[in-house]
């Protein structure tokens, strides 16, 4: 009996059965792992340049602004409001039920508060594309034709429908009633100005968009708004810049102005540093990465990119130092960069230690960054083989 079982196992059909059993076990234990292995898809985060990998975590607004993601949710003041926000995300969402709940929330508030609350909920529905709100928005505008909020919703709807000229008009009307907006926790003015500047840039020309933003920046009284508008101005300049070094400096200077008003904006600092590095201005890049580290000392993307900058300057000891700091924060990209640098320096065993550590601590399906370790491991193998061949050749000679 045992002999027959062994024959079955080692037969072609037996091998297929065993593989199927293993895959079924893996499927039930970890479906994501099996999916990744079968699809063989590996997504890189960052940008490979030579042997070093530099993270790019810039999160600029999509130039197709009608696809802009929700980044802020208004602060709720009651349990009913919080419940309604959750209901918007419900798979079983029903517009009639939504209208009934919203009416219950706003019925006992004054006119201005009703308009604001209705806007907040309809805004989330509009951005989320949950339902067609065109008729609701038209009614909202007719009932509140001197409200910032109603014209913003109409502009959003028109922009979504690619009626950009109409959207420009609606947004401009909305801004004429901006004094109605007093709640800084939900800064819709920034969103409107950003969207409007992009459409003006597309339809009326760069100079008109720049003039519009300059006016808005000069009129902005709040630091947060002024800083965000400088950022938007920088992004439009960057879109125009291409390889123009003069425009590059212009948009970097606009970002620096933004930083004066947004001194804790890590994303902004990172963008300044990263773009300097891309233009091979490593010393300037390092300066802004260092500024970033004063705010967030353990940011592994920044530590990694400091290593990249020093490596490009040829200051190898500092490059290794920052790669190690990032690696200690469990940055697998940095472990890969470090392993490659150590391999190039001939420290094969230490490079292998970092490869082993990364493989022990993470799996490829959970950490796409580990693909950098796979690259480093192959690079290490190639260098070892190359050294072996050179040694053998020397012995022959």
CATH number, domain of 287, equals: 1.25.40.10
Is 183 among the domain residues?
no
Close Cβ partners of 23 (under 8 Å, ≥ 6 residues apart): 34
Of 324, 345, 363, the last residue of a domain is: 324
The tens place of each residue's pLDDT in the chain, 397 residues long, gives 545 544 444 455 554 555 455 444 444 444 443 333 333 322 323 333 334 555 554 333 332 332 233 334 444 455 577 788 788 777 778 888 888 888 888 787 777 777 888 887 787 777 776 678 888 888 888 888 889 989 999 999 999 899 999 999 999 999 999 888 766 545 788 999 999 999 999 999 999 999 999 999 999 888 888 999 999 999 999 988 888 889 999 999 999 999 999 999 999 999 999 999 999 999 999 999 999 999 999 999 999 999 999 999 999 999 999 999 999 988 888 999 999 999 998 899 999 999 998 888 876 555 666 778 888 889 999 988 988 888 877 777 6
With respect to residue 277, please indicate whether it lies within any of the assigned structural domains. Answer: yes
Count how many domains the chain has: 3
20: in domain: yes
Q: Distance between CA 48 and CA 102 in Å, rounded?
A: 50
Rounded to whole angstroms, the Cα distance separating 377 from 336 reads 8
Residues spanned by the domain of 334:
330-397
pTM as predicted? 0.71
Contacts of 80 by beta carbon, 8 Å cutoff, 6+ apart: 101, 104, 105
- Pairing state between β 52-54 and 47-49: antiparallel
Structure-token pair, residue 145: 């034709």
249 inside domain: no
In whole angstroms, how far apart are CA 303 and each of 144, 175, 270, 321, 349? 52, 42, 11, 9, 23
Cβ contacts of 333 within 8 Å, gap of 6 or more = 45, 46, 53, 55, 304, 326, 369, 372
């Amino acid at each position: 009996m045992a002999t027959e079982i062994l024959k079955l196992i080692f037969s072609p059909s037996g091998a297929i059965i065993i593989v199927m059993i293993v895959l079924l076990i893996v499927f039930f234990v970890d479906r994501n792992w099996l999916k990744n292995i079968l699809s063989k898809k590996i997504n890189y985060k960052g940008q490979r340049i030579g042997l070093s990998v530099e993270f790019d975590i810039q999160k600029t607004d999509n130039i197709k602004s009608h696809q802009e993601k929700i980044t802020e949710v208004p602060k709720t003041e009651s349990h009913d409001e919080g419940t309604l926000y959750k209901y918007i995300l419900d798979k079983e969402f029903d517009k009639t039920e939504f209208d009934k709940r919203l009416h219950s929330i706003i019925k006992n508030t004054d006119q201005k508060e009703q308009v604001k609350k209705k806007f907040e909920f309809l805004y989330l529905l509009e951005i989320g594309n949950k339902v067609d709100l065109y008729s609701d928005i038209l009614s909202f505008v007719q009932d509140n034709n001197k409200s910032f909020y109603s014209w913003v919703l109409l502009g959003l709807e028109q922009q979504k429908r690619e009626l950009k000229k109409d959207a420009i008009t609606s947004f401009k009307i909305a801004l004429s009633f901006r004094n109605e907006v007093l709640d800084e926790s939900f800064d819709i003015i920034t969103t409107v100005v950003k969207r409007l500047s992009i459409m003006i840039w597309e339809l009326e020309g760069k100079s008109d968009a720049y003039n519009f933003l300059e006016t808005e920046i000069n009129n902005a009284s709040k630091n947060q708004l002024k800083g965000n508008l400088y950022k938007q101005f920088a992004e439009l300049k960057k879109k125009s810049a291409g390889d123009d070094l003069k425009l590059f400096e212009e948009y970097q200077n606009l970002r620096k102005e933004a930083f004066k008003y947004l001194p804790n904006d890590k994303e902004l600092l990172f963008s300044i540093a990263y773009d300097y590095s891309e233009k091979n201005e490593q010393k300037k890049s390092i300066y802004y990465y260092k500024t970033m580290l004063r705010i967030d000392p353990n940011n592994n993307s920044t530590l990694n990119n400091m290593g990249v900058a020093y490596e490009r300057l040829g200051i190898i000891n500092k490059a290794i130092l920052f790669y190690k700091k990032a690696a200690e924060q469990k940055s697998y990209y940095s472990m890969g960069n470090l392993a490659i640098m150590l391999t190039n320096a001939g420290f094969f065993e230490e490079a292998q230690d970092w490869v082993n550590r990364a493989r022990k601590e993470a799996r490829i399906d959970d950490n796409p960054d580990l693909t950098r370790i796979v690259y480093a491991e192959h690079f290490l193998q190639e260098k070892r083989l190359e050294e072996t061949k050179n040694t053998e050749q020397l012995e022959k000679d």
